[in-house]
Amino acid sequence: MAKDFNDPRVVESYDHHIRKLIPGYELIHLQAHAILKNMVAEQAEIVVVGCGTGYELAYLAAQLPQWHFCAIDPAPNMLQQAKAYLEGLQLADRIQFVLGDSTVLRDMPERFDAALAILVAHFVPQQYKLDFFKDIVNSLKPTGVCLSYDLMQFQYPEQSTVLKTMAQLTGLAEAQAIKMIDRLDSDFHLVTLDELLALYQQAGFKNVQQYSQVLNYMGLFARK
């Protein structure tokens, strides 16, 4: 059974746990900030697809006070946690919170200057991945851009072993690291980099390029 991101226990421990699971977690958002600051206008509207508990939103909203955001998440408890967190930081006035998956974007055509889907697409089942990216591209303005960051399919057995070791080095207990690897097939729907590039192109994106990689986690940047 896949992880339930609406489980209150998962929500409560998410921010602490993810830093042990994902190598270079803070660097992911630092890179997104740098890219968007150079690729998006000073007055911009950004959609965050799969906002989780709001760390990404809080970081970007604090760094870029002229931007407005639309935060989408299908898990009610995650979305509520994000909203409470941003309200506590007095940043929520520039953020619209929307409960739902990528299909809610179908009511927001050509609205956004940029879309972020950080650590999201690898949870989307294979049969829905193309629609996921189509929903995103159709929500972007003609000059819009998209950034994603996801775990890619392992090509060699050693890659999962190295990822397990990396998680332990960043603070995950050995038993938790083993469980993480054992649950990959049930928690994730992984594709290869070539398959993800093809999905981007089939969805309608242009100039798709890889901007980052830490082990099997890879970031892609694309223009509409």
In this prediction, residue 2 carries a pLDDT of: 46
What type of residue is 3?
Answer: K
User: What is the rounded average pLDDT for all residues in the chain?
Assistant: 92
Q: Is 165 exposed, middle or buried (0-12, 13-18, 19+ CB in 10 A)?
A: middle
Digit-coded pLDDT (tens) for 33-72: 999 999 999 899 999 999 999 999 999 999 999 999 999 9
CATH 3.40.50.150 fits 8-223, yes or no: yes
d(CA 160, CA 85) in angstroms, rounded, equals 34
Q: Which of 67, 53, 62 is nearest to 112 (CA)?
A: 67
d(CA 138, CA 195): 20
Helix ranges (DSSP H) in the chain:
8-21, 25-39, 55-63, 76-88, 126-139, 157-169, 174-182, 184-187, 193-203
Contacts of 206 (CB under 8 A, 6+ apart): 222, 223, 224
More confident residue, 2 or 112: 112
C-beta separation of 52 from 74 below 8 A: no
Q: What is the rounded CA–CA span in Å between residue 215 and residue 1?
A: 26
Q: Does residue 46 contact residue 115 with C-beta atoms inside 8 Å?
A: yes
Percent of the chain beyond pLDDT 70?
A: 92
3-class SS string, 112-169: EEEEEEECCHHHCCHHHHHHHHHHHHHHEEEEEEEEEEEECCCCCHHHHHHHHHHHHH
Is residue 89 within 8 A of residue 62, CB to CB? The reply is: yes
Q: Which amino acid is at 141?
A: K
With a cut of 80, say whether residue 129 has pLDDT above it. Answer: yes
Q: Are 208 and 200 in contact (CB under 8 A)?
A: yes
Question: Domain locations in the chain?
Answer: 8-223
Q: How confident is residue 8, by pLDDT bands cut at 50, 70 and 90?
A: low
| Residue 4 pLDDT | 57
Among the listed residues 32, 25, 81, 29, the one whose alpha carbon sits nearest the alpha carbon of residue 52: 81
